[in-house]
Chain A
Protein backbone atom coordinates (compact mmCIF):
# COMPACT_ATOMS: atom_id res chain seq x y z
CA UNK A 1 0.00 0.00 0.00
CA UNK A 2 1.47 3.35 -0.96
CA UNK A 3 1.52 6.55 1.05
CA UNK A 4 -1.46 8.16 -0.68
CA UNK A 5 -3.56 5.13 0.18
CA UNK A 6 -2.58 5.36 3.85
CA UNK A 7 -3.52 9.02 3.98
CA UNK A 8 -6.86 8.19 2.42
CA UNK A 9 -7.54 5.43 4.94
CA UNK A 10 -6.52 7.66 7.84
CA UNK A 11 -8.99 10.26 6.63
CA UNK A 12 -11.66 7.56 6.30
CA UNK A 13 -10.92 6.45 9.86
CA UNK A 14 -11.32 9.98 11.16
CA UNK A 15 -14.58 10.30 9.23
CA UNK A 16 -15.92 7.13 10.81
CA UNK A 17 -14.79 8.36 14.22
CA UNK A 18 -16.81 11.53 13.65
CA UNK A 19 -19.86 9.48 12.60
CA UNK A 20 -19.65 6.94 15.41
CA UNK A 21 -18.19 8.54 18.55
CA UNK A 22 -21.29 10.61 19.45
CA UNK A 23 -23.56 7.57 19.29
CA UNK A 24 -21.07 5.37 21.14
CA UNK A 25 -20.78 7.96 23.93
CA UNK A 26 -24.56 8.00 24.13
CA UNK A 27 -24.62 4.24 24.62
CA UNK A 28 -21.79 4.29 27.20
CA UNK A 29 -23.47 7.00 29.26
CA UNK A 30 -26.80 5.17 29.21
CA UNK A 31 -25.16 2.81 31.71
CA UNK A 32 -24.09 5.69 33.93
CA UNK A 33 -25.51 5.67 37.41
CA UNK A 34 -25.57 9.43 37.87
CA UNK A 35 -28.49 11.56 36.79
CA UNK A 36 -25.93 14.07 35.54
CA UNK A 37 -25.52 12.51 32.15
CA UNK A 38 -22.01 13.76 31.48
CA UNK A 39 -20.36 12.81 34.77
CA UNK A 40 -19.48 9.14 35.11
CA UNK A 41 -20.24 7.70 38.54
CA UNK A 42 -20.51 3.96 38.06
CA UNK A 43 -22.17 1.25 36.01
CA UNK A 44 -25.90 0.79 36.34
CA UNK A 45 -28.84 -0.45 34.31
CA UNK A 46 -31.37 1.44 36.39
CA UNK A 47 -32.31 3.78 33.54
CA UNK A 48 -33.30 0.78 31.43
CA UNK A 49 -35.45 -0.48 34.27
CA UNK A 50 -37.02 2.94 34.71
CA UNK A 51 -37.69 3.03 30.99
CA UNK A 52 -39.72 -0.17 31.27
CA UNK A 53 -41.92 1.52 33.91
CA UNK A 54 -42.62 4.61 31.84
CA UNK A 55 -46.13 3.86 30.61
CA UNK A 56 -46.48 6.98 28.46
CA UNK A 57 -43.30 6.10 26.63
CA UNK A 58 -44.28 2.45 26.17
CA UNK A 59 -47.67 3.44 24.75
CA UNK A 60 -46.00 5.83 22.32
CA UNK A 61 -43.49 3.16 21.29
CA UNK A 62 -46.28 0.66 20.63
CA UNK A 63 -48.18 3.19 18.50
CA UNK A 64 -45.00 3.98 16.57
CA UNK A 65 -44.27 0.32 15.90
CA UNK A 66 -47.82 -0.29 14.62
CA UNK A 67 -47.62 2.76 12.35
CA UNK A 68 -44.16 1.78 11.12
CA UNK A 69 -45.19 -1.78 10.28
CA UNK A 70 -48.39 -0.75 8.48
CA UNK A 71 -46.50 1.95 6.65
CA UNK A 72 -43.72 -0.44 5.59
CA UNK A 73 -46.18 -2.94 4.06
CA UNK A 74 -48.01 -0.31 2.00
CA UNK A 75 -44.78 1.45 1.06
CA UNK A 76 -43.22 -1.78 -0.24
CA UNK A 77 -46.24 -2.46 -2.48
CA UNK A 78 -46.47 1.10 -3.83
CA UNK A 79 -42.72 1.54 -4.12
CA UNK A 80 -42.33 -1.75 -5.99
CA UNK A 81 -45.15 -0.83 -8.40
CA UNK A 82 -43.44 2.51 -9.02
CA UNK A 83 -40.08 0.80 -9.60
CA UNK A 84 -41.77 -1.62 -12.06
CA UNK A 85 -43.24 1.35 -13.90
CA UNK A 86 -39.87 3.07 -14.24
CA UNK A 87 -37.82 0.01 -15.17
CA UNK A 88 -40.32 -2.06 -17.16
CA UNK A 89 -42.59 0.42 -18.89
CA UNK A 90 -39.98 2.57 -20.56
CA UNK A 91 -41.11 5.91 -21.84
CA UNK A 92 -44.77 6.22 -20.92
CA UNK A 93 -46.68 9.47 -21.07
CA UNK A 94 -46.15 11.56 -17.98
CA UNK A 95 -42.94 9.70 -17.02
CA UNK A 96 -41.15 12.96 -16.25
CA UNK A 97 -43.83 14.06 -13.81
CA UNK A 98 -43.98 10.56 -12.37
CA UNK A 99 -40.25 10.57 -11.72
CA UNK A 100 -40.44 14.08 -10.30
CA UNK A 101 -43.19 13.08 -7.87
CA UNK A 102 -41.15 10.08 -6.82
CA UNK A 103 -37.89 12.00 -6.20
CA UNK A 104 -39.36 15.08 -4.54
CA UNK A 105 -40.33 13.37 -1.25
CA UNK A 106 -36.67 12.33 -0.79
CA UNK A 107 -35.45 15.90 -0.55
CA UNK A 108 -38.54 17.90 0.41
CA UNK A 109 -38.04 19.70 3.73
CA UNK A 110 -40.20 17.93 6.27
CA UNK A 111 -41.94 21.08 7.46
CA UNK A 112 -43.38 21.56 3.96
CA UNK A 113 -44.55 17.96 3.61
CA UNK A 114 -46.03 17.99 7.10
CA UNK A 115 -47.86 21.28 6.74
CA UNK A 116 -49.22 20.47 3.29
CA UNK A 117 -50.51 17.04 4.32
CA UNK A 118 -52.17 18.48 7.41
CA UNK A 119 -53.92 21.14 5.34
CA UNK A 120 -55.01 18.42 2.90
CA UNK A 121 -56.49 16.31 5.71
CA UNK A 122 -58.26 19.32 7.21
CA UNK A 123 -59.72 20.30 3.84
CA UNK A 124 -60.78 16.72 3.11
CA UNK A 125 -62.47 16.42 6.47
CA UNK A 126 -64.39 19.63 5.78
CA UNK A 127 -65.50 18.63 2.30
CA UNK A 128 -65.98 14.85 2.33
CA UNK A 129 -65.96 14.11 6.04
CA UNK A 130 -62.91 11.83 5.86
CA UNK A 131 -60.53 11.32 7.64
CA UNK A 132 -62.58 11.65 10.79
CA UNK A 133 -60.08 13.29 13.11
CA UNK A 134 -56.36 12.76 12.96
CA UNK A 135 -54.22 9.98 14.35
CA UNK A 136 -53.07 6.53 13.28
CA UNK A 137 -54.52 6.73 9.76
CA UNK A 138 -53.30 10.20 8.87
CA UNK A 139 -49.79 9.57 10.26
CA UNK A 140 -49.57 6.28 8.36
CA UNK A 141 -50.69 7.88 5.08
CA UNK A 142 -48.11 10.63 5.52
CA UNK A 143 -45.36 8.12 6.20
CA UNK A 144 -46.29 5.94 3.22
CA UNK A 145 -45.99 8.97 0.97
CA UNK A 146 -42.31 9.53 1.70
CA UNK A 147 -41.34 5.92 2.48
CA UNK A 148 -42.52 4.61 -0.90
CA UNK A 149 -40.05 6.92 -2.61
CA UNK A 150 -37.17 5.33 -0.69
CA UNK A 151 -38.48 1.81 -1.40
CA UNK A 152 -38.71 2.70 -5.10
CA UNK A 153 -35.02 3.71 -5.12
CA UNK A 154 -33.93 0.41 -3.52
CA UNK A 155 -36.17 -1.85 -5.65
CA UNK A 156 -35.46 0.04 -8.83
CA UNK A 157 -31.72 -0.47 -8.63
CA UNK A 158 -32.17 -4.18 -7.99
CA UNK A 159 -34.70 -4.51 -10.81
CA UNK A 160 -32.48 -2.80 -13.33
CA UNK A 161 -29.48 -4.97 -12.40
CA UNK A 162 -31.52 -8.15 -12.79
CA UNK A 163 -30.74 -10.74 -15.39
CA UNK A 164 -33.91 -11.08 -17.49
CA UNK A 165 -33.07 -14.34 -19.26
CA UNK A 166 -35.04 -16.43 -16.75
CA UNK A 167 -38.13 -14.31 -17.28
CA UNK A 168 -37.74 -14.50 -21.03
CA UNK A 169 -37.41 -18.26 -20.85
CA UNK A 170 -40.62 -18.52 -18.85
CA UNK A 171 -42.40 -16.25 -21.32
CA UNK A 172 -41.19 -18.38 -24.20
CA UNK A 173 -42.64 -21.41 -22.47
CA UNK A 174 -45.99 -19.63 -22.45
CA UNK A 175 -46.28 -18.38 -18.86
CA UNK A 176 -48.41 -15.29 -18.51
CA UNK A 177 -46.72 -12.06 -17.31
CA UNK A 178 -48.36 -12.04 -13.90
CA UNK A 179 -47.31 -15.64 -13.30
CA UNK A 180 -43.76 -14.83 -14.46
CA UNK A 181 -43.66 -11.82 -12.17
CA UNK A 182 -44.93 -13.76 -9.17
CA UNK A 183 -42.84 -16.87 -9.54
CA UNK A 184 -39.63 -15.50 -11.05
CA UNK A 185 -39.25 -11.75 -10.67
CA UNK A 186 -40.47 -11.42 -7.08
CA UNK A 187 -38.20 -14.11 -5.63
CA UNK A 188 -35.25 -12.51 -7.44
CA UNK A 189 -35.93 -9.05 -6.06
CA UNK A 190 -36.98 -10.33 -2.61
CA UNK A 191 -33.80 -9.07 -0.88
CA UNK A 192 -34.54 -5.56 -2.15
CA UNK A 193 -38.13 -5.87 -0.92
CA UNK A 194 -36.87 -6.91 2.51
CA UNK A 195 -34.40 -4.06 2.79
CA UNK A 196 -37.03 -1.65 1.41
CA UNK A 197 -39.45 -2.83 4.10
CA UNK A 198 -36.86 -2.39 6.83
CA UNK A 199 -35.87 1.04 5.55
CA UNK A 200 -39.50 2.17 5.42
CA UNK A 201 -40.00 0.80 8.93
CA UNK A 202 -37.05 2.68 10.43
CA UNK A 203 -37.85 5.90 8.55
CA UNK A 204 -41.34 5.85 9.98
CA UNK A 205 -40.17 4.96 13.48
CA UNK A 206 -37.86 7.96 13.37
CA UNK A 207 -40.10 10.66 11.94
CA UNK A 208 -40.84 13.59 14.21
CA UNK A 209 -41.71 16.62 12.10
CA UNK A 210 -44.28 15.20 9.68
CA UNK A 211 -45.95 13.16 12.45
CA UNK A 212 -46.29 16.20 14.68
CA UNK A 213 -48.14 18.07 11.94
CA UNK A 214 -50.60 15.30 11.07
CA UNK A 215 -51.10 13.78 14.53
CA UNK A 216 -54.24 14.32 16.55
CA UNK A 217 -54.50 14.97 20.28
CA UNK A 218 -54.62 11.29 21.27
CA UNK A 219 -51.83 10.01 19.08
CA UNK A 220 -48.35 10.64 20.45
CA UNK A 221 -45.61 8.72 18.72
CA UNK A 222 -42.25 7.76 20.21
CA UNK A 223 -40.22 10.56 18.57
CA UNK A 224 -42.73 13.10 19.92
CA UNK A 225 -42.21 11.86 23.47
CA UNK A 226 -38.45 11.84 22.97
CA UNK A 227 -38.53 15.33 21.50
CA UNK A 228 -40.53 16.87 24.31
CA UNK A 229 -38.28 15.32 26.93
CA UNK A 230 -35.11 16.29 25.02
CA UNK A 231 -36.28 19.89 24.93
CA UNK A 232 -36.18 19.88 28.71
CA UNK A 233 -32.58 18.69 28.67
CA UNK A 234 -30.50 15.56 28.43
CA UNK A 235 -31.92 12.68 30.43
CA UNK A 236 -30.40 9.28 31.15
CA UNK A 237 -33.68 7.55 30.29
CA UNK A 238 -33.53 8.95 26.78
CA UNK A 239 -29.95 7.70 26.51
CA UNK A 240 -31.15 4.23 27.41
CA UNK A 241 -33.99 4.43 24.90
CA UNK A 242 -31.59 5.69 22.22
CA UNK A 243 -29.28 2.74 22.85
CA UNK A 244 -32.14 0.29 22.37
CA UNK A 245 -33.17 2.01 19.13
CA UNK A 246 -29.58 1.93 17.86
CA UNK A 247 -29.37 -1.78 18.66
CA UNK A 248 -32.62 -2.57 16.80
CA UNK A 249 -31.61 -0.48 13.79
CA UNK A 250 -28.15 -2.05 13.63
CA UNK A 251 -29.70 -5.51 13.49
CA UNK A 252 -32.06 -4.33 10.72
CA UNK A 253 -29.19 -2.85 8.68
CA UNK A 254 -27.11 -6.00 9.03
CA UNK A 255 -30.03 -8.17 7.89
CA UNK A 256 -30.72 -5.86 4.98
CA UNK A 257 -27.04 -5.64 4.08
CA UNK A 258 -26.52 -9.39 4.16
CA UNK A 259 -29.65 -10.08 2.14
CA UNK A 260 -28.59 -7.62 -0.54
CA UNK A 261 -25.14 -9.18 -0.66
CA UNK A 262 -26.33 -12.50 -1.96
CA UNK A 263 -27.46 -11.79 -5.44
CA UNK A 264 -27.90 -15.18 -7.08
CA UNK A 265 -29.15 -14.32 -10.53
CA UNK A 266 -28.01 -10.75 -10.63
CA UNK A 267 -25.61 -9.45 -13.19
CA UNK A 268 -22.42 -7.67 -12.27
CA UNK A 269 -20.46 -8.26 -9.09
Chain B
Protein backbone atom coordinates (compact mmCIF):
# COMPACT_ATOMS: atom_id res chain seq x y z
CA UNK B 1 0.00 0.00 0.00
CA UNK B 2 2.74 2.40 1.02
CA UNK B 3 4.59 1.43 -2.13
CA UNK B 4 1.63 2.38 -4.27
CA UNK B 5 1.14 5.77 -2.64
CA UNK B 6 4.75 6.55 -3.33
CA UNK B 7 4.10 5.75 -6.95
CA UNK B 8 1.10 8.03 -6.96
CA UNK B 9 3.07 10.86 -5.45
CA UNK B 10 5.73 10.39 -8.08
CA UNK B 11 3.08 10.36 -10.82
CA UNK B 12 1.56 13.53 -9.45
CA UNK B 13 4.90 15.35 -9.65
CA UNK B 14 5.46 14.09 -13.16
CA UNK B 15 1.98 15.15 -14.20
CA UNK B 16 2.51 18.62 -12.76
CA UNK B 17 5.80 19.03 -14.55
CA UNK B 18 4.31 17.87 -17.82
CA UNK B 19 0.98 19.69 -17.70
CA UNK B 20 2.25 22.99 -16.39
CA UNK B 21 5.83 22.94 -17.61
CA UNK B 22 5.42 22.15 -21.30
CA UNK B 23 2.87 24.83 -22.24
CA UNK B 24 4.62 27.30 -19.95
CA UNK B 25 7.94 26.70 -21.67
CA UNK B 26 6.41 26.97 -25.14
CA UNK B 27 4.55 30.21 -24.41
CA UNK B 28 7.52 31.67 -22.57
CA UNK B 29 9.81 30.98 -25.49
CA UNK B 30 7.49 31.85 -28.37
CA UNK B 31 5.18 34.42 -26.84
CA UNK B 32 6.86 36.22 -23.94
CA UNK B 33 10.51 36.27 -25.00
CA UNK B 34 9.68 37.81 -28.41
CA UNK B 35 8.33 40.94 -26.70
CA UNK B 36 11.68 41.48 -25.00
CA UNK B 37 13.32 41.24 -28.40
CA UNK B 38 10.84 43.69 -29.92
CA UNK B 39 11.65 46.15 -27.13
CA UNK B 40 15.34 45.59 -27.75
CA UNK B 41 15.10 46.19 -31.49
CA UNK B 42 12.82 49.22 -31.09
CA UNK B 43 15.89 50.94 -29.67
CA UNK B 44 18.17 50.05 -32.54
CA UNK B 45 18.82 52.10 -35.65
CA UNK B 46 17.98 51.11 -39.17
CA UNK B 47 20.92 50.01 -41.23
CA UNK B 48 21.53 48.71 -44.69
CA UNK B 49 22.25 45.24 -43.47
CA UNK B 50 20.70 41.84 -43.12
CA UNK B 51 18.73 42.05 -40.79
CA UNK B 52 18.26 45.80 -41.32
CA UNK B 53 19.14 47.21 -37.91
CA UNK B 54 22.23 47.97 -35.85
CA UNK B 55 23.48 46.09 -32.79
CA UNK B 56 22.78 47.78 -29.51
CA UNK B 57 25.81 46.29 -27.91
CA UNK B 58 29.32 46.45 -29.23
CA UNK B 59 32.79 45.81 -27.82
CA UNK B 60 34.94 48.91 -27.74
CA UNK B 61 38.76 48.53 -28.05
CA UNK B 62 39.70 47.91 -24.43
CA UNK B 63 37.16 45.18 -23.75
CA UNK B 64 34.40 47.50 -22.58
CA UNK B 65 30.90 46.62 -23.59
CA UNK B 66 29.21 49.63 -25.05
CA UNK B 67 25.43 49.78 -25.09
CA UNK B 68 23.75 52.38 -27.25
CA UNK B 69 20.08 52.93 -26.61
CA UNK B 70 18.40 54.89 -29.32
CA UNK B 71 15.07 56.39 -28.32
CA UNK B 72 14.67 58.25 -31.60
CA UNK B 73 12.01 55.82 -32.85
CA UNK B 74 9.80 56.52 -29.85
CA UNK B 75 10.32 60.27 -30.26
CA UNK B 76 9.21 59.87 -33.88
CA UNK B 77 6.11 57.90 -32.89
CA UNK B 78 5.10 60.44 -30.27
CA UNK B 79 5.81 63.61 -32.23
CA UNK B 80 4.77 62.70 -35.75
CA UNK B 81 1.15 63.75 -36.13
CA UNK B 82 0.49 60.96 -38.59
CA UNK B 83 1.15 58.26 -35.99
CA UNK B 84 -0.80 60.11 -33.34
CA UNK B 85 -3.76 60.43 -35.70
CA UNK B 86 -3.50 56.73 -36.54
CA UNK B 87 -3.51 55.74 -32.87
CA UNK B 88 -6.51 57.94 -32.11
CA UNK B 89 -8.41 56.75 -35.16
CA UNK B 90 -7.71 53.09 -34.33
CA UNK B 91 -9.05 53.59 -30.81
CA UNK B 92 -12.08 55.42 -32.18
CA UNK B 93 -12.87 52.73 -34.74
CA UNK B 94 -12.46 50.01 -32.10
CA UNK B 95 -14.76 51.88 -29.72
CA UNK B 96 -17.50 52.55 -32.29
CA UNK B 97 -17.40 48.96 -33.53
CA UNK B 98 -17.46 47.50 -30.00
CA UNK B 99 -20.60 49.53 -29.22
CA UNK B 100 -22.22 48.51 -32.53
CA UNK B 101 -21.34 44.82 -31.94
CA UNK B 102 -22.84 45.05 -28.46
CA UNK B 103 -26.05 46.67 -29.72
CA UNK B 104 -26.48 44.03 -32.42
CA UNK B 105 -25.00 41.09 -30.52
CA UNK B 106 -26.81 41.44 -27.20
CA UNK B 107 -30.36 40.91 -28.52
CA UNK B 108 -29.10 38.05 -30.70
CA UNK B 109 -27.34 36.34 -27.77
CA UNK B 110 -30.42 36.92 -25.62
CA UNK B 111 -32.74 35.42 -28.22
CA UNK B 112 -30.53 32.34 -28.56
CA UNK B 113 -30.02 31.89 -24.82
CA UNK B 114 -33.74 32.03 -24.10
CA UNK B 115 -34.85 29.76 -26.95
CA UNK B 116 -35.78 26.09 -26.37
CA UNK B 117 -32.88 23.67 -25.89
CA UNK B 118 -33.12 21.89 -29.26
CA UNK B 119 -33.33 25.07 -31.28
CA UNK B 120 -30.55 26.64 -29.24
CA UNK B 121 -27.94 24.13 -30.43
CA UNK B 122 -28.69 24.89 -34.08
CA UNK B 123 -28.77 28.66 -33.58
CA UNK B 124 -25.46 28.50 -31.75
CA UNK B 125 -23.92 26.49 -34.57
CA UNK B 126 -25.11 29.20 -36.99
CA UNK B 127 -23.15 31.76 -34.95
CA UNK B 128 -20.02 29.60 -34.77
CA UNK B 129 -19.98 28.81 -38.50
CA UNK B 130 -18.99 32.30 -39.71
CA UNK B 131 -16.52 32.52 -36.81
CA UNK B 132 -14.69 29.54 -38.31
CA UNK B 133 -15.00 30.62 -41.93
CA UNK B 134 -11.98 32.37 -43.35
CA UNK B 135 -11.62 35.91 -42.08
CA UNK B 136 -9.93 37.00 -45.29
CA UNK B 137 -12.72 35.60 -47.44
CA UNK B 138 -15.42 37.25 -45.37
CA UNK B 139 -13.72 40.64 -45.68
CA UNK B 140 -13.20 40.02 -49.39
CA UNK B 141 -16.92 39.31 -49.83
CA UNK B 142 -17.65 42.91 -48.88
CA UNK B 143 -15.48 44.34 -51.67
CA UNK B 144 -17.85 42.93 -54.27
CA UNK B 145 -20.83 44.27 -52.35
CA UNK B 146 -19.61 47.77 -51.54
CA UNK B 147 -17.68 48.84 -54.62
CA UNK B 148 -19.14 51.58 -56.88
CA UNK B 149 -20.57 49.11 -59.43
CA UNK B 150 -21.03 46.46 -56.75
CA UNK B 151 -24.06 44.51 -55.64
CA UNK B 152 -25.33 47.00 -53.06
CA UNK B 153 -25.22 49.97 -55.45
CA UNK B 154 -26.75 47.94 -58.28
CA UNK B 155 -29.53 46.84 -55.96
CA UNK B 156 -30.25 50.33 -54.65
CA UNK B 157 -30.26 51.79 -58.16
CA UNK B 158 -32.54 48.99 -59.37
CA UNK B 159 -34.93 49.90 -56.55
CA UNK B 160 -34.67 53.50 -57.69
CA UNK B 161 -33.59 54.72 -54.26
CA UNK B 162 -30.41 56.27 -55.63
CA UNK B 163 -29.38 57.39 -59.10
CA UNK B 164 -25.64 57.77 -58.56
CA UNK B 165 -23.57 54.96 -57.03
CA UNK B 166 -22.64 55.63 -53.41
CA UNK B 167 -18.99 55.66 -52.51
CA UNK B 168 -18.68 53.25 -49.61
CA UNK B 169 -15.66 51.10 -50.43
CA UNK B 170 -12.36 52.67 -49.34
CA UNK B 171 -14.01 54.87 -46.71
CA UNK B 172 -14.18 54.64 -42.95
CA UNK B 173 -17.81 53.43 -43.23
CA UNK B 174 -16.57 50.34 -45.07
CA UNK B 175 -14.17 49.68 -42.17
CA UNK B 176 -17.03 49.90 -39.68
CA UNK B 177 -19.12 47.47 -41.72
CA UNK B 178 -16.22 45.04 -42.18
CA UNK B 179 -15.22 45.09 -38.51
CA UNK B 180 -18.74 44.67 -37.13
CA UNK B 181 -19.37 41.87 -39.60
CA UNK B 182 -16.13 40.03 -38.77
CA UNK B 183 -16.14 40.47 -35.01
CA UNK B 184 -19.85 40.03 -34.22
CA UNK B 185 -19.49 36.31 -33.30
CA UNK B 186 -16.71 37.23 -30.80
CA UNK B 187 -19.27 39.41 -29.02
CA UNK B 188 -22.17 36.96 -29.19
CA UNK B 189 -20.36 33.84 -27.92
CA UNK B 190 -19.29 35.14 -24.46
CA UNK B 191 -22.63 36.93 -24.06
CA UNK B 192 -24.44 33.70 -24.85
CA UNK B 193 -22.26 31.73 -22.40
CA UNK B 194 -23.15 34.24 -19.72
CA UNK B 195 -26.87 34.52 -20.48
CA UNK B 196 -27.52 30.75 -20.57
CA UNK B 197 -26.40 30.52 -16.96
CA UNK B 198 -28.64 33.35 -15.92
CA UNK B 199 -31.37 32.41 -13.48
CA UNK B 200 -34.52 33.47 -15.30
CA UNK B 201 -36.69 32.79 -12.27
CA UNK B 202 -35.36 36.11 -11.00
CA UNK B 203 -37.20 37.78 -13.89
CA UNK B 204 -40.39 35.94 -13.01
CA UNK B 205 -39.99 37.08 -9.42
CA UNK B 206 -39.59 40.66 -10.61
CA UNK B 207 -42.70 40.30 -12.81
CA UNK B 208 -44.68 38.83 -9.92
CA UNK B 209 -43.74 41.82 -7.85
CA UNK B 210 -45.19 44.05 -10.55
CA UNK B 211 -42.01 45.08 -12.35
CA UNK B 212 -42.48 45.94 -16.05
CA UNK B 213 -40.43 43.71 -18.39
CA UNK B 214 -38.14 46.48 -19.61
CA UNK B 215 -37.42 47.69 -16.10
CA UNK B 216 -36.80 44.10 -14.99
CA UNK B 217 -34.32 43.79 -17.84
CA UNK B 218 -32.47 46.93 -16.77
CA UNK B 219 -32.47 46.02 -13.07
CA UNK B 220 -31.88 42.26 -13.23
CA UNK B 221 -30.66 40.90 -16.57
CA UNK B 222 -28.31 43.68 -17.58
CA UNK B 223 -26.29 43.85 -14.32
CA UNK B 224 -26.05 40.05 -14.16
CA UNK B 225 -24.77 39.84 -17.73
CA UNK B 226 -22.09 42.46 -17.15
CA UNK B 227 -19.24 39.89 -17.14
CA UNK B 228 -20.37 38.67 -20.55
CA UNK B 229 -20.58 42.22 -21.84
CA UNK B 230 -17.07 43.02 -20.65
CA UNK B 231 -15.59 39.77 -22.01
CA UNK B 232 -17.26 40.23 -25.39
CA UNK B 233 -16.29 43.90 -25.61
CA UNK B 234 -12.64 43.13 -24.89
CA UNK B 235 -12.58 40.30 -27.44
CA UNK B 236 -13.71 42.86 -30.01
CA UNK B 237 -11.96 46.02 -28.84
CA UNK B 238 -8.40 44.73 -28.28
CA UNK B 239 -7.77 43.00 -31.61
CA UNK B 240 -9.61 45.68 -33.61
CA UNK B 241 -7.24 48.41 -32.39
CA UNK B 242 -4.42 46.58 -34.20
CA UNK B 243 -6.46 45.31 -37.14
CA UNK B 244 -4.65 45.18 -40.48
CA UNK B 245 -6.64 43.20 -43.07
CA UNK B 246 -9.89 45.20 -42.83
CA UNK B 247 -8.42 48.73 -43.13
CA UNK B 248 -6.11 47.48 -45.86
CA UNK B 249 -8.81 45.93 -48.05
CA UNK B 250 -11.84 48.09 -47.24
CA UNK B 251 -10.38 51.35 -45.90
CA UNK B 252 -9.19 54.34 -47.85
CA UNK B 253 -6.18 56.64 -47.67
CA UNK B 254 -7.87 58.87 -45.09
CA UNK B 255 -8.74 56.09 -42.66
CA UNK B 256 -5.45 55.59 -40.88
CA UNK B 257 -5.03 52.62 -38.57
CA UNK B 258 -1.98 51.74 -36.58
CA UNK B 259 -1.88 48.07 -37.64
CA UNK B 260 -1.68 49.12 -41.25
CA UNK B 261 1.03 51.72 -40.56
CA UNK B 262 3.11 49.13 -38.72
CA UNK B 263 2.77 46.81 -41.73
CA UNK B 264 3.83 49.59 -44.12
CA UNK B 265 6.85 50.57 -41.99
CA UNK B 266 7.91 46.95 -41.88
CA UNK B 267 7.23 45.64 -45.38
CA UNK B 268 7.19 48.90 -47.35
CA UNK B 269 9.88 51.06 -45.77
CA UNK B 270 11.86 48.16 -44.28
CA UNK B 271 12.17 50.20 -41.09
CA UNK B 272 12.19 47.33 -38.58
CA UNK B 273 13.12 49.41 -35.51
CA UNK B 274 10.32 51.91 -36.12
CA UNK B 275 7.83 49.07 -36.67
CA UNK B 276 9.04 47.55 -33.38
CA UNK B 277 8.56 50.90 -31.60
CA UNK B 278 5.01 51.10 -32.98
CA UNK B 279 4.34 47.56 -31.74
CA UNK B 280 5.59 48.48 -28.25
CA UNK B 281 3.36 51.56 -28.13
CA UNK B 282 0.35 49.58 -29.36
CA UNK B 283 1.07 46.93 -26.74
CA UNK B 284 1.31 49.58 -24.03
CA UNK B 285 -2.04 50.94 -25.10
CA UNK B 286 -3.70 47.53 -24.92
CA UNK B 287 -2.28 46.47 -21.54
CA UNK B 288 -4.94 48.36 -19.58
CA UNK B 289 -8.01 46.78 -21.23
CA UNK B 290 -6.26 43.42 -21.24
CA UNK B 291 -5.46 43.43 -17.53
CA UNK B 292 -9.03 44.55 -16.87
CA UNK B 293 -10.37 41.59 -18.82
CA UNK B 294 -7.95 39.19 -17.16
CA UNK B 295 -8.89 40.25 -13.63
CA UNK B 296 -12.55 39.97 -14.38
CA UNK B 297 -12.04 36.58 -15.94
CA UNK B 298 -10.08 35.13 -13.04
CA UNK B 299 -12.79 36.35 -10.68
CA UNK B 300 -15.48 34.72 -12.81
CA UNK B 301 -13.63 31.45 -13.28
CA UNK B 302 -12.87 32.03 -16.91
CA UNK B 303 -15.98 30.49 -18.46
CA UNK B 304 -16.86 33.56 -20.47
CA UNK B 305 -14.46 32.82 -23.28
Contact = CB atoms under 8 A, between A and B. Distances in A.
Given A4-B213, A16-B126, A99-B298, A226 B132 contact: no
19 contacts: A19-B127, A19-B130, A23-B138, A89-B15, A99-B294, A101-B32, A107-B286, A109-B244, A111-B262, A115-B262, A116-B34, A116-B279, A123-B37, A126-B51, A145-B27, A174-B4, A177-B15, A226-B136, A230-B136
A199 interface: yes
A20 B131 CA distance: 11
A34 interface: no
Nearest to A22: B141
Interface string B126-148: 11111011111110111111010
Interface residues of A, number: 96
Contacts, number: 259
Contact of A153 (B26, B108, B305): B305
Given A23-B130, A38-B154, 8 more contacts: A25-B141, A25-B151, A82-B23, A107-B286, A111-B259, A152-B23, A206-B135, A249-B129
Contacts of A254: 125
Contacts of A105: 27, 31
Contacts of B7: 176
Given A19-B181, A111-B263, A85 B23 contact: yes
A9 B111 contact: yes
A257 B144 contact: no
Interface string A214-250: 0000000001001100110110001100100110011
A94 interface: yes
A232 to B, nearest CB: 11
A157 interface: yes
Contact of A208 (B121, B245, B297): B245
B184 interface: yes
Contacts of A233: 143
> Top 5 A-B pairs ranked by shortest CB distance?
A109-B242, A116-B34, A82-B23, A22-B141, A120-B34
Interface in B96-136: 104-105, 107-108, 110-112, 114, 117, 121, 123, 125-130, 132-136
B244 to A, nearest CB: 5
A119 B41 contact: yes
Contact of B282 (A96, A112, A145, A231): A112
Contacts of A73: none
A67 B283 CA distance: 28
A249 B134 contact: yes
B26 A144 contact: yes
Given A4-B213, A101-B31, A107-B238, A206 B136 contact: yes
A109 B51 contact: no
Given A26-B144, A98-B24, A245 B259 contact: no
